[in-house]
Structure 1
Amino acid sequence: MRKFVKQIMMNIFLPRLLLLHSLLVVCFATFAFGATRLPQDEVQALTDIAKTLGKTGWDFSVDPCSGQLPWTNISAFKGFESAVTCNCSFDDSTVCHVTSM
């Protein structure tokens, strides 16, 4: 009976524990690296540019350097692109700066 319980622990519990551990590591890494890395003054500059251009589609709750929509919206029509390109190699890759729009 003891061997059976040990086998159940090894075959069922341990893989689930490892899966849970892996998921937690991925989640914490996502939160750690998902923080805004663009300096606030550059976010403010993008906000001012959006107001000047009448741009309403930029979502400032999303980091402009994250590579997520709407910051990477490349249109097929020239002049309608809405992409922000960043260089994130500053301060050991913890700070980004906008390099093109």
Structure 2
Amino acid sequence: MLARLSRGPASVSELARPLPMSLPAVMQHLKALEGSGLIKTEKKGRIRTARLQGNAIAEAERWLTDRRTEWEAQADRLENFLATYNGDDR
């Protein structure tokens, strides 16, 4: 859904069409994405349209990059500890 929305706004039916899930399941996904701040939906008449929130993806990417850096540092510390603990000379 996010990949499709990266090309521009789309109606719920457009988003659901290629997916092997029910329309209520698509709506649940959209609700979760909207709750996370990644998308915004609006209803005009009978049509609900979803669009990406501009900064949300970039903010999520920054957060993931920060976590990746922390996790890699922790893995390095664990590797060094285990090497020392095992008497390895790495």
Say yes or no: TM over 0.5.
Answer: no
Higher Cα radius of gyration: 1
> Under a length normalisation based on structure 2, what TM-score does the superposition of the two structures give?
0.33
Of structures 1 and 2, the one scoring higher in RCO (CA 8 A, sep 6+) is 2
